[in-house]
Amino acid sequence: MRRLLPPPLRVAPLALLALLLALAPTDAQECIEEGAVCTDVTAEPGDACEDLSDACVCSEDLLCLPPPDSGWIPQWVLGVVLYSFGAMMINLGSNIVKYGHTLHEKSEAASDTAGTTRAAKLRAGGWTLFSLGGAFNFLSFSYGTQSLLSALAAIQFVTNIFFGAVVNGETVTTRIVMGTLVICAGVTLIVVFGPKKEENYDIGALISLWAQWPILTWVAGNAVMFVVLEVVRRKLANREDETLRAADSLAGGQASSPKGGVSEGLLREKAAFLRNWRGVVYGSTSAILGSQSTLFMKSLSELLKGLLTRGEFGALINPFTYAILAGFVGSLTFWLMRLNRGLAEFDALFIVPVMQVQW
Kindly state whether residues 133 and 223 are assigned to the same domain. Answer: no
Higher model confidence: residue 106 or residue 160? 106
Q: Is residue 13 part of a domain?
A: yes
Same domain, yes or no: 80 and 217: no
Which of 133, 158, 193 corresponds to the end of one domain? 193
pLDDT of residue 196: 56
* Spatial separation of the C-alpha atoms in residues 211 and 193, rounded to whole Å: 29
Q: Tell whether 35 is covered by a domain.
A: no
For 53: left if phi > 0, alpha if psi spans -120 to 50, otherwise beta; the answer is beta
> For 281-302, what is each residue's pLDDT tens digit?
999 999 898 888 888 888 888 8
Residues 180 and 324 in one domain: no
The domain boundary residue, chosen from 193, 214, 236:
193
Q: 282 lies in a domain?
A: yes
Q: How many CB atoms lie within 10 A of CB 299?
A: 25
216 and 159 in one domain?
no
3-state secondary structure of 63: strand
Q: What is the mean pLDDT of the chain?
A: 74
Q: Is the pLDDT of residue 7 over 60?
A: no
Q: Minimal CA–CA distance to 156: which of 2, 8, 355?
A: 355
Same domain, 16 and 88: yes
Domain end, chosen from 193, 223, 244, is at 193
Same domain, 18 and 138: yes
Phi, psi angles (nearest 5°) of residue 57: -130, 165
Q: pLDDT over 70 for what percent of the chain?
A: 70
Which runs of E-coded beta strand occur in the chain?
57-58, 64-65
Pair 213, 351 in one domain: yes
Tens of pLDDT, residues 157-208 = 777 777 777 777 777 778 777 877 777 777 677 667 766 566 677 788 888 8
Mean pLDDT, residues 91-96:
84
Are residues 187 and 207 both part of a single domain? Answer: no
**Do 286 and 267 share a structural domain?**
yes
Q: Which domain holds residue 319?
A: 203-358
**Tell me: the pLDDT tens digits for 212-237?**
898 889 889 999 999 999 999 999 99
Q: What is the pLDDT of residues 239-283, one digit of tens each?
A: 999 888 888 887 765 555 554 456 778 888 888 899 989 999 999
Q: The pTM is what?
A: 0.60
Higher pLDDT, 315 or 257: 315
